[in-house]
Amino acid sequence: MEHVVQFGINIDDDAIRKAIEGSAKRQIIDELKAEVRDYLGITGKRDYYGNMRFEYKHLVDDIKRELEAELKDRMKDQIFGELVEKMSKSTVRQKWFKEAMLKVLPDIMEDAVGEER
């Protein structure tokens, strides 16, 4: 007795293509990450489950300190100028400064008029 068995195979080309592209992207990204870690000197340790754990904190702290120092150097004159401006504005408004200026101003005016003659 003969039995005829029919079966069909459905091959999804798009799914295969997407799986290959995804795998290739992951491999390229992993290779690039490894190159960057090697270049920066970042080392990793394996955890209990075998996953690599990398220490970036020291690298970030160093970059942060360098940027802060550079920013302070660049902005030092501007920060100092703004500070002087604010201090002078607040000093001019104070009573003791106005009284001192009223005492000194007549002498300054006399000297200026005397020099013109």
What parts of the chain have a pLDDT lower than 70?
A: 112-117
Q: Could you give the CA distance from residue 26 to residue 36 in angstroms, rounded to a whole number? A: 15
How many Cβ atoms sit within 10 Å of the Cβ of residue 45? 9
Cβ distance 58 to 41 under 8 Å? Answer: no
Distance of CA 93 to the CA centre of its chain: 39
- The domain spans of the chain are 13-116
Read off φ and ψ for residue 55, nearest 5 degrees.
-100, 110
Look at residue 97 in the predicted model and tell me its pLDDT: 81
Q: pLDDT for 51-64, tens place per residue?
A: 777 777 777 788 88
| pTM to 2 decimal places | 0.38
Q: Could you give the CA distance from residue 104 to residue 75 in angstroms, rounded to a whole number? A: 36
